[in-house]
Chain A
Amino acid sequence: MRSLAALLLLGVPAFAEIPPERAAELQHIVQQDCGSCHGLTRKGGLGRPLTPEALAEAEVEGLAAIILDGVPGTAMPPWRPLLTEAEALWIATHLKLE
């Protein structure tokens, strides 16, 4: 239950709202779709590495905002058309944990 404890520490309320089937889909999106720019193992590509070490200093809310709105002027696209805020928080949390 390490990850649950960590989640509680991070205090992400939206986490519980993601049903398991959707969570599996999100995991797939992170690996495959984010992976096309950040690498399947998230060690980086056109986009920077998204490993827990690389994101150690980053805040979950800040990461979720980047995921939703992208980084203007770079190749990082806004995912708001495809993801809800709760889902972006879930992904941000997932990125920091494993």
Chain B
Amino acid sequence: MKSFTLLAALLLSTPLWAGSDDLTATGDLGLVVERGTGSLVLIDRSDRAAVARIEGLGDLSHASLTYSPDERFAYVFGRDGGLTKVDLLERKIVARTVQAGNSIGGAISDDGRLVAVSNYEPGGVKVFDAGTLDLVADIPAAGKTIGLVDVPGRRFAWTIWDTGEVFLGDFSGAEPKVTLLGNAGKNPFDAVLTDDAHTYLIGLFGEKGVTAFDLWDAAPQPVKFLTEYGKTGEDMPVYKMPHLQGWAFTEGQYALPAVGRHELLWVDRDSQETVATTQMHGQPVFVIAQPASPFVWVNFATPLNDTVQVVDSRSHEVVATLTPGKAILHMEFAPRGAEVWLSARDDNKVLIYDTHTREKLGEIAAEAPSGIFFTARAHQTGL
């Protein structure tokens, strides 16, 4: 009852309207993954400062995370199969389960009640209760599972790297209903859902192209496009798989990373015709739209990963080339687009840039930082 007496004492001694320094709002918080040390840095976006470090999350190479609808909890998906629930207010781990041998990412359902994890080893999807992390459903697959996204109506979609199969799982009823939507093609490496939950786009590594499924359709069919890009000339080695989670949708176009080429491909959303190709500094990894602007920011695969380029989605021209630091792994925008935060892994820093002047505003120390995740993601479909 200690906390009760403490609370009572506070209530008695402090006028209620005075507020308290202990209260924290989470709307401008975020987490930075420290990939080598299995830890997270809790940051405050408004203060441009680190406020805490949370440790003990296992192997966080390729880690990603999502947030609960109240922006209080983060669900962290680790490479070692660990699913960890972190409380941003208490600044600690509140639940952790090692649910597979090797996993790659996850998603939270639209109602915030279910957390799904996509696994490499053994392949498949596991679904957990977001409150307790109790297992709710276990859906095995014939291979490594990639591109897991949440689809409105307590559903998730995912794709299998080895077989190209694309599944839609409906978890709104007592028993899960899993439907095979079709085949995306050879070795799909990642997938993404447009922010209107309309189109599930799957990038292919084993062949040229991108496959789209219209999830507004009752019986979605695979539609392949971009099958012709780069037919002339040798492809270059791909030292890092592009990520699609930030695929930019802007000016009625998709801005897509060309696999094996130093190019950005612009595709018309309606006709799926290629509108333009932009020559880039390296093999694009993340292609992310700066919110409320015509610009797209791009980072690159090793060894050209000290550079970030900004492209105008109207002219398809590179308008800025920045060299912010060593090994820029990820970029995260403030929800209204004023700032972009960049992780410079080999400088052990997170760099904060003004998106209008493109000047540096500040930096935060972090041990080999990779992903940066602001809590505003809690309200975005497909993240």
Contacts and interface: CB of A to CB of B under 8 A. Distances in A.
Interface of A: 28, 31-33, 35-37, 39-41, 43-46, 70, 75, 77-79, 81-82
Interface of B: 35-36, 59-62, 79-80, 102, 104, 120-121, 144, 161, 187, 189, 205, 237-241, 302-303, 327, 345-346, 368
Contacts of A36: 61-62, 240-241
A35 B61 contact: yes
Given A32-B368, A45-B62, A78-B237, 5 more contacts: A40-B59, A40-B60, A45-B104, A46-B120, A77-B237
A79 B203 CA distance: 23
A46 B240 contact: no
Contacts of B238: 75, 77
A37 B241 contact: yes
A46 B79 contact: no
Contacts of B189: 46, 75
Contacts of B120: 44-46
Contacts of A39: 59, 61-62, 79, 102
Given A35-B61, A40-B35, A45 B102 contact: yes
Where chain A touches its partner, the secondary structure class is loop
Contacts, number: 63
10 contacts: A36-B62, A36-B240, A37-B240, A41-B80, A44-B120, A44-B121, A45-B61, A45-B62, A45-B102, A79-B237
Contact of A33 (B35, B102, B239): B239
Contact of B36 (A31, A70, A77): A31
B303 A32 contact: no
B12 to A, nearest CB: 52
B237 A32 contact: no
A3 B205 CA distance: 38
B229 to A, nearest CB: 18
A1 to B, nearest CB: 27
Contacts of B368: 32
Contacts of A40: 35-36, 59-61, 79
B120 to A, nearest CB: 6
B366 to A, nearest CB: 15
Contacts of A82: 239, 303
Contacts of B327: 32
A39 B237 CA distance: 19
A32 B345 contact: yes
B241 A46 contact: yes
A70 B235 CA distance: 14
- Residue among B61, B189, B346 with most chain A CB within 10 A: B61
A59 B144 CA distance: 28
B195 to A, nearest CB: 27
B190 to A, nearest CB: 10
A46 B161 contact: yes
A37 B79 CA distance: 11
Given A35-B61, A39-B61, A40-B59, A45 B79 contact: yes
Contacts of A44: 102, 120-121
A81 B345 contact: no
Contacts of B121: 44
A77 B61 contact: no
A70 B239 CA distance: 11
Contacts of B59: 39-41, 43
Contacts of A75: 187, 189, 205, 238, 241
Contacts of B79: 39-40, 43, 45
Contact of A43 (B36, B60, B80, B302): B80
